[in-house]
Amino acid sequence: MKVKVNRFTNELYTRYAWAFLRIGLGWIFLWAFLDKLFGLGFGTCRDKTSGAINYICSSEWIEGGSPTYGFLTNAAKGPFVEYFQAMAGSAIVDWLFMLGLLGIGLSLLLGIAVRIAATTGMLMMLLMYLAAFMPPANNPILDDHLIYFIALFGIRFADAGITLGFGRQWARMPFICRNPILH
């Protein structure tokens, strides 16, 4: 039995697929921010040998830890290793990274300023890919940073903030109408 899907139904499914992807990526970015801020034990404050979570550890940002130090000193490889390791622990880099995670996460979750959030997220993923620029362990070409980059690229151009988000209301605000780059 062949199911006939009309154009409207197909467009509706496509809009919801982009919206769910946008919300999922928004949560990934916001969770990374919260984990690095409070040391929730997923990427931060977990003992490497026992796996135990040490809440309120010295690695969390509010306790003075650097959210970029671990990745930039341990994961950085390849031709750009010296450049990225020199940035590890820099207060400016930490602030930019954390504000980026927060802004991208909230924007994608709410469906506002999605174009800027997606573009910024693409830049962040590209930099993280370049920092660990060696063939990934699971695939000689692609890693999760590039897949996130591709997903954000699609979200950037899919007008994904209007479905299950506040993108339509955001776009009607007078300030945003005068500055369409903020869509």
Mean pLDDT by 10 residues, the chain (183 residues): 72 95 98 93 79 78 91 87 93 97 98 97 95 76 91 95 95 92 83
- How far, in Å, CA of 131 to CA of 157, rounded? 26
- What's the rounded Cα separation, in Å, for the pair 168 and 89? 39
pLDDT on residue 82: 93
Cα–Cα distance measured from residue 37 to residue 181, given in angstroms and rounded to the nearest whole number: 30
Give residue-wise pLDDT tens across range 128-162. Answer: 999 988 766 677 778 899 999 999 999 999 989 99
Q: How are the residues of the chain apportioned to helix, strand and coil, as percentages rounded to the nearest 5?
A: 65, 0, 35
